[in-house]
Amino acid sequence: MYVRTLEGQLGKADRQEAINYVRESIAPALRRQPGFVSARLWSNPASGHSQLALVWESEQDRQRADADGFLQTLLSHLAQYYVAPPVCQHYEINVQIVSLR
């Protein structure tokens, strides 16, 4: 599996709006993308630092989402909530540990 992350500092006044945008706009659109596995957004309320992680079944699926402009459109809108342009990175998932409970 492969991950695309978007990391940066959300404006304190914009943090909840960014969370709502991910929940209401990005999440439904991601669910319709081939190869999409999951997404997680975490943030620190005190500092505004946040990271959005989008997990894809294959690198090809992640690249396809990039190539068709789908992610670029959604993420460019999300960027308005950051105090500086967020940093995008790509990773391969090497180990995944899940609870068996």
Instruction: Give me the residues paired with residue 7 across strands.
Output: 51, 87
Q: Is the full-model pTM beyond 0.85? A: yes
Whether the per-residue pLDDT at 56 is higher than 90: the answer is yes
85-95 pLDDT per residue, tens: 999 999 999 99
Domains and CATH numbers, the chain: 2-92 (3.30.70.100)
- Contact of 39 with 30, CB cutoff 8 Å: yes
